[in-house]
Amino acid sequence: MEVSSFASGCVSLRHSASEELLLKKAWFPNWNRVRLSPVARDSRPLVRQTGILTWKKNNLQALHRHLKEVPVIDSGCMDEICKTLAERLVPTAAAESNPNFKRIIGLCGPPGSGKSTIASEIVRYINELWAQKSSSFDSQVESPEVAIMLPMDGFHLYLHQLDAMQDPEEAHARRGAPWTFDPERLLRCLIKLKNEGSVYVPSFNHGVGDPVEDDIFVNLQHKIVIVEGNYLLLDEGVWKDISCIFDEKWFIDIDITTAMERVLKRHIATGKPPDVAKWRVDYNDRPNAELIMKSKQNADLIIKLVDHAR
């Protein structure tokens, strides 16, 4: 597994390059370190037995001035990757006094890439780190959770909305494609969150197949919000406006064949016959994944998953 980072657009909604690059070393464990080697933006991360958290920025002088060394992490250990990403975000929350402050992260990747698992683990580690930090000030006060996950699944169109489309059969068959979501509503929720510091958002009930209204409450105590979803980094239409809301944009890079094998197993586990599950993957999930992979170029940071068993 490797993590790479480089600059992207939407500067008006982001912090300065120096602010992004400045990491407080006090929050990093004493891992072995390596010297940073500048890498061109369009080059592919090198797959090795160990993953290197490599920072790639267009402004190499600023990069070398603010960040000289990066942690080396075992490529097979997702746990360490999640810890590292959590430790990057905690100092930001700790330094803010504005009650409405939110650091909003967009975590994108194709179906089967493990977005929800990674996002929930990062949130868990952030809250653990925050609790440790808070306990040093006042052991009598329970530390609030400062991080929360916001899944894009809650912004699926309702089944009755698919029924009302011109071709309902195709709409149901392609559920999960970009046009079967409500990106305008997601954008409104993110703007409200950014401006007011709190918002109710829907979750998704996979058993029923529909969103659950106002099921997740992002409140003022939450300083870090991990938004996870398939199309968060698309650079067209409303999706592009959504992408520009994020303070950081992360992408989970995984071999599509590996991802589709995971999705196939997931379909079968939920009761679909194997032939129906395979048709669903070929007709809907793979085309969606191929579209999503094109948005990798819009990420600030890439988490590359490597299956050494293949």
In a domain? residue 176? yes
pLDDT value of residue 80: 84
- Rounded to whole angstroms, what are the CA distances from 237 to 174, 178, 184? 20, 11, 10
Q: Above 80 in pLDDT, residue 241?
A: yes
Residue 233 belongs to a domain with what CATH number?
3.40.50.300
Q: Return all residues near 230 (Cβ < 8 A) that are at least 6 apart.
A: 108, 109, 110, 111, 115, 152, 176, 178, 288, 292
Mean pLDDT computed over every residue of the chain? 78
SS3 81: helix
Q: What is the mean pLDDT of residues 262-290?
A: 96
Per-residue pLDDT of 58-100, as tens digits, reads: 333 333 333 333 233 334 578 888 998 999 899 877 777 777 8
Size of the chain in residues: 310
Lowest mean pLDDT segment, chosen from 31-35, 43-47, 249-253, 278-282: 31-35
pLDDT value of residue 1: 56
pLDDT value of residue 222: 94
pLDDT value of residue 144: 79
pTM of the model: 0.76
In a domain? residue 310? no
In a domain? residue 108? yes
CA dist 172 and 21 (Å) reads 44
| The total number of structural domains that make up the chain | 1
pLDDT value of residue 96: 76
In a domain? residue 309? no
pLDDT value of residue 121: 95
More confident site: 133 or 177? 177
Q: Return all residues near 21 (Cβ < 8 A) that are at least 6 apart.
A: 55, 57, 62, 63, 66, 67
pLDDT value of residue 20: 33
| Domain limits for position 254 | 2-304
pLDDT value of residue 4: 56
pLDDT value of residue 109: 96
Lowest mean pLDDT segment, chosen from 73-82, 144-153, 251-260: 73-82
Q: Which long-range contacts (CB under 8 A, 24 or more apart) does 215-220 make?
A: 215/154, 216/148, 216/150, 216/154, 218/148, 218/150, 218/193, 220/99, 220/100
SS3 53: strand
SS3 219: coil
In a domain? residue 76? yes
Q: What is the mean pLDDT of residues 23-47?
A: 31
Percentage of residues in the chain having pLDDT higher than 70: 71
Q: Above 60 in pLDDT, residue 256?
A: yes
